[in-house]
Amino acid sequence: MAEVLIRELDELVLAALKARARAQGVSLEQSLRDLLTAAAREGESMRAELSRLRATTPPAGRNLDVAALIRADRDGR
């Protein structure tokens, strides 16, 4: 397991984190571990969702005719 040292953490932030841990009935260390783990998983989840959305969108690129898209939109009004 790795260790992380966080320097110059604001006292008010630390107090809030300690209060949160106390309210959860866990140590500050466990509470921070849970927070960091959840944050990492949210990032993974977001990347997966973006990949899923990207797969449902037609690829855009050099062959994209913007003028034709604008014309089609205007004609549709």
Pick from 60, 58, 53, 13: nearest CA to 35: 13
Q: Are 35 and 21 in contact (CB under 8 A)?
A: no
> pTM higher than 0.85, yes or no?
no
- How much is the average pLDDT of 53-72? 80
What pLDDT, on a 0 to 100 scale, did the predictor assign at position 8? 95
The pLDDT tens digits of the residues spanning 29-62 come to 999 999 999 988 888 888 888 888 888 877 766 6
Phi, psi of 65 (to 5 degrees): -95, 90
pLDDT tens across 6-32, in order?
Answer: 999 999 999 999 999 999 999 999 999
Question: What confidence score (pLDDT) does residue 40 get?
Answer: 87
